[in-house]
Structure 1
């Protein structure tokens, strides 16, 4: 059976919790991604910041993204999946927590991200439909 590492998008990059939101937006543009894992000073996952977070929690409130740190927007306990986890575990974790992007970690190092696009490329139409139904359920 396929693993998280088999379906992930490799080459994900951390952004430090101390970096500003404008830098996060620049890095998202450079990497062509909509989310970045946020790391603490020990390069441990402490959150995820999305392009939507920046817009809704900063720009829409007329705050200056050059003065707001990534740490200020990180909420809750970040979730991640081990690179060796099978796809069933990935789907369960993402569905049960209604997560659209999942960092993949191997030997305590970030090795990739799994997004809905990655799932679409690797799941059957039925599996993908079930995932979308569960994650979008109100």
Structure 2
């Protein structure tokens, strides 16, 4: 039996979502929020023309708009926020990963950068996004598969073991 883990050779592109939701950098925060709601996503990638320039997450909206962390609190006296754009709120130059990268490399980079969402590229072109949630679902499936194999093996071991 091989000791190599089944997820070590899996490529990021196999689990990445291809239906990436993007907004232009000049989209208003209202448009960003509506896009997130309509697409039922927790992030949008920000583009300028065809170029990926950033990412806005649901957390970015909360931190920027409801706290004094960035001086854009819409709840503060005189706060409006209506003039803010995706470009104002985005995390610029987001971490990306090539679609042929292996899952352990992705996990390492996500951990180092403390991010939960990573755009996936091929030759510099955006082709998808992988989220921490996608990884959890994949790994849970792997665990269920391994558990089923172990359960089957335990039946063999039990059947072939000497009686006590």
State TM-score, norm by structure 2.
0.68
Aligned ranges 1:89-128 → 2 under 5 Å: 89-123=105-139
Cα deviation for residue 109 of structure 1 reads: 2.6
SS across alignment from 1:58? helix
Separation in structure 1 between the aligned mates of residue 122 and residue 95 of structure 2, nearest angstrom? 14
- Matches for 1:69-84 after TM superposition, within 5 Å: 69-84=85-100
- How far apart in 2 are the matches of 1:120 and 1:7? 11
User: How far apart in 2 are the matches of 1:46 and 1:83?
Assistant: 18
Aligned residues: 124
Alignment correspondent of 1:4:
12
Alignment of 1:1-138 (within 5 A): 1-41=9-49, 43-60=50-67, 61-62=73-74, 63-123=79-139
Structure 2 runs not aligned, ≥5 long? 1-8, 68-72, 144-164
- Counterpart CA distance in 2 for 1:36 and 1:18 is 13
> CA RMSD for the aligned pairs?
1.8
Runs of 4+ in 1 over 4 A off after TM superposition: none
Once the two structures are TM-superposed, the CA of residue 45 in structure 1 deviates from its matched residue by 1.6
For residues 11-62 of structure 1, the C-alpha deviation after alignment (integer angstroms, 9 at most, x for no partner) is: 1122111111110111111111101111123x22211101121122124411
Report the TM-score, using the length of structure 1 for normalisation: 0.80
1:112 to partner: Cα distance? 1.6
8 Å CA contact 2:60–2:90 kept in 1: the answer is no
Name stretches of at least 5 consecutive residues in structure 1 with no aligned partner.
126-138
Q: Compare relative contact order (CA 8 Å, sep 6+) and give the higher one, 1 or 2.
A: 1
